[in-house]
Amino acid sequence: MAAGAAGDFRVTRRQRAVATVLLLTCLAACGGGGGVTSTPTPVNTTPVTPVTPTPTSFDTSEYRRSNGAVQAQAITAYQAGASGAGVIAAVIDSGVDPTSAEFAGRISPFSGDAAGNRGVSDEDGHGTQVSALLLAARNGSSIQGVAWGATLLSIRTDRPGSCAATDGCGFGNTAIASGIDTATSVGARVINLSLGGNAASPTLVAAISRATSAGIVIVIAAGNEKGSEIDPLAASAIAAAAPGTVIVAGAVDENNVMADFSNHAGAAGASYLTALGVKVRSFDHTGTAYLYSGTSESAPIIAGAVALLAQAFPNLTGKQIVELLLRTADDLGDAGVDAVYGHGALNLARAFAPVGTLSVAKVADPLSLAGAGSLGGPLGDAGQTGAALAKVPAHDSYDRAYLINVAGLLTREPVGRLAASLFGDTVRSSAGRVGSLGFAVATRGGDGLAWRGEAMTGVQDRRDPGQLLTGQAQVALAPDRTAVFGFGQSLGALLDSAGGQGALGLAPLVTGRSDGLGVLAHDRAGAAVAQRLGAWTASFGIGELRLGEPLRPGQPLPGLATASRAVLRLERDIGRLHIAGSGELLVERGALLGSRLAPAFGLNGASTASAVLQLVLPLGGWSLAGEARLAHSSADFSGAGLIRHAEGLVGTAGSLTLVHGGIIVPGDMVSASIAQPLRVSGRAELAFGDGGLTGFGPSGREIAAEAQYARPLWGGTFGFGLFWRHQPGHILDAAPDAGGAIRFRLGI
């Protein structure tokens, strides 16, 4: 250290002693900063848009040169509309180059020399390069600071003549304290101290206390002594400040590895945050571009982050900003706060994303970014309601306003539904009869060789080897009365068995029954009884469904949803024509037409009544089957959710299937089908709307067609088919879904 005046306690900057400084080449051709290329850190994407979005592109060559801002993922803040504009950021250092275009028009008139009468001009370059990292202009030249729109309060505090010393400029406690008081009086939101040395004097302690009590955040360098504890000045700043208002800046390299010169967090881990501090691009008081290394460079990067948050969210206190930056840091080193990296590395993308609980006005339950449930099947993409859910106004735990893309948090049925019908199982089947009781069961084999379609559907099949897949027992109660009990089969299939109607055609690829609620609905158990009444057969059945499993990994659905289904059917033959009419009631608990929604939606359940007409007509060697369904749903919303209520939910479904057997060899079969899956639409009132009703239902209409051929082979069944779907999932802009399948099942 250079000798100081008697009785004058000094704080000295140690940047020169340990920092690597590399002169960049190509200065003139590259705008003063372009000789070294940089690969920018990818910017995280989330389904969250802050309330002040801007379409401007910020991924410029200047931004990419600004590796301090890039590693901090500052582009996320820029895309949210933040630049630091209107925020005063104080840099207490060796001054700044007031003639530089990088600071033009943004140097506060309250800037000055707290250690003399020299003005703010920088004799050393340290103050200029630190200020540049914090707020150099976004002007296409050299680099841009993290908070390129902020106002610079430059307080020069280097003791006159000390910058000529080999160990760096000397800074007195009194001058630093005066600079801090100036920052407090003019309303600065952040003070950068890229300084180090002995513990603060009582005068400096008092100034720090006054500033932080006024809500100012102080960012101070950890020091470059390779120590296990932070610099004494930084430690005394924490002790002097109001709780939670100081961030100590440690240095990491471009891989977020602790710099070999940086002091570690030590006992100050609760206040310690790292940022790029190795080969950081900036420029000195002459405009010459360098790569700097030191915790002096990490500090202004973090101070710039403070300024961005202060502008974007003016409701935040200084303490809240500090808490946010520490809370959203990328955890490095040992899990949690540790003695090396403290809280970890600065991450502005996470700091600008919602944190904690998300609340919506007039909605009782909070939103969760972990998922909002599943939507699909009969409701498709929910149309206008789905579009409105892409911009839900909400506040996070820090009362920051956002537009949340709730629609993007909803999982959907796979648009390519083919693989759901191809869930392969090594099936072990058994059948038999004991008196009037006939039974058949199918269980999964244990060899684990069956492909189950996860790659195409994104859906996990959670059934275990040996688990019962389907089962049915049929008993004749009387000559004209039959009862059927089943597991893992649709109620429609049980009614067909009870009434003596076999399945028509081949197992569909994409054109299933009209009562289908989608791939997330699973039949559990049911029972049906049929009674012949002359030429008529009356049958009644009840069944239970489970909704919501299997699921995509990491996309939990809220709670457990189940449904009960009851069907009353009358059928008879009129000549060669078989006709059946049904009345159905579906009661869902925690779901609406198979869709599962998070508690914030306020959905309790729904009931759906349907009228169904089925016809089967033999045509020579062919059979033509048709089914038409008209449904009306009543949704039970609590009135305190995102969806207040829904009305007018009416749906239709229908299909035509043409089947012929014995085309080529005995026992073979060919079929062709065209169908519209169940499609339900109506209107909904949203909690965040204007009180009017929006369209609640699919934006499109799916029409599916398929053709199949199957024949016996090697004791099993071999078949192939082709399919095509228009607007799959009832989504208007969905690309057509087309393909084919080959299936072979060997009975075991």
Please report which confidence band the pLDDT of residue 443 belongs to, taking 50, 70 and 90 as the band edges.
low
Give dist(CA 149, CA 134) in Å, integer.
10
Q: What angle do CA 204, 210, 216 make, to 5 degrees?
A: 105
Instruction: Inform me whether the pLDDT recorded for 467 exceeds 50.
Output: yes
Contact by Cβ (8 Å): 158, 151: no
What is the CATH architecture of 10-352? 3-Layer(aba) Sandwich (3.40)
Please give the backbone phi and psi of residue 656, each rounded to the nearest 5 degrees, phi first.
Answer: -135, 135
pLDDT of 15 reads 44
Instruction: Inform me whether the pLDDT recorded for 224 exceeds 80.
Output: yes
Please report which confidence band the pLDDT of residue 747 belongs to, taking 50, 70 and 90 as the band edges.
low
pLDDT of 489 reads 79
Strand ranges (E), 102-221:
112-113, 151-156, 170-172, 190-193, 217-221
Please report which confidence band the pLDDT of residue 746 belongs to, taking 50, 70 and 90 as the band edges.
low
- The mean-pLDDT minimum among 430-439, 468-477, 492-501 falls in 430-439
**How many residues belong to the chain?**
748
Give how far the C-alpha of residue 532 lies from the chain's centroid of Cα atoms, to the nearest Å. 56
Contact by Cβ (8 Å): 426, 444: yes
pLDDT of 432 reads 62
Q: Read off the pLDDT of residues 55-96 as tens digits, 9 standing for 90 and up.
A: 468 999 999 999 999 999 999 999 999 999 999 999 999 999
Give dist(CA 710, CA 728) in Å, integer.
25
pLDDT of 168 reads 77
Q: Read off the pLDDT of residues 10-61 as tens digits, 9 standing for 90 and up.
A: 454 444 434 444 433 332 223 332 222 222 222 232 334 444 444 468 999 9
- The mean-pLDDT minimum among 452-456, 728-732, 744-748 falls in 452-456
User: What are the C-alpha distances in Å from 654 to residues 577, 586, 675?
Assistant: 18, 18, 6
Please report which confidence band the pLDDT of residue 519 belongs to, taking 50, 70 and 90 as the band edges.
low
What's the whole-model pTM score?
Answer: 0.78
**Average pLDDT value for the chain:** 84
pLDDT of 495 reads 83
What is the CATH architecture of 418-746? Beta Barrel (2.40)
Percent of the chain clearing pLDDT 70 (strictly above): 82
Look-up of token digits 């009969």? 378
Instruction: Inform me whether the pLDDT recorded for 378 exceeds 70.
Output: yes
CB atoms within 10 A of CB 451: 12
pLDDT of 167 reads 73
Higher-pLDDT residue of 627 and 450 is 627
Instruction: Inform me whether the pLDDT recorded for 517 exceeds 90.
Output: no
Instruction: Inform me whether the pLDDT recorded for 644 exceeds 90.
Output: yes
Percent of the chain clearing pLDDT 90 (strictly above): 64
Q: Which two tokens stand for residue 395?
A: 């506040």
- The mean-pLDDT minimum among 130-134, 155-159, 455-459, 516-520 falls in 455-459
Contact by Cβ (8 Å): 333, 327: no
User: What are the C-alpha distances in Å from 326 to residues 248, 302, 323, 344, 378?
Assistant: 11, 11, 5, 8, 45
Give dist(CA 268, CA 243) in Å, integer.
13
pLDDT of 478 reads 84
Q: Read off the pLDDT of residues 528-570 as tens digits, 9 standing for 90 and up.
A: 899 999 999 999 999 998 876 544 444 555 567 889 999 999 9
Instruction: Inform me whether the pLDDT recorded for 475 exceeds 50.
Output: yes
User: What are the C-alpha distances in Å from 509 to residues 97, 673, 697?
Assistant: 72, 10, 25
Alpha helical stretches, state H, 194-263: 202-213, 232-240
Please report which confidence band the pLDDT of residue 239 belongs to, taking 50, 70 and 90 as the band edges.
very high
Please report which confidence band the pLDDT of residue 707 belongs to, taking 50, 70 and 90 as the band edges.
very high
Kindly tell me the sign of the dihedral angle through the C-alpha atoms of 244, 248, 253, 257: negative
pLDDT of 572 reads 93
Nearest to 170 by CA among 189, 185, 156, 184: 156
Instruction: Inform me whether the pLDDT recorded for 610 exceeds 90.
Output: yes
SS3 394: strand
Segments of the chain assigned to CATH 3.40.50.200: 10-352
Segments of the chain assigned to CATH 2.40.160: 418-746
- The mean-pLDDT minimum among 21-30, 296-305, 334-343, 449-458 falls in 21-30
* Residues with active-site annotation: 93, 126, 296
Mean pLDDT of 296-318: 97
Q: What angle do CA 399, 403, 408 make, to 5 degrees?
A: 125
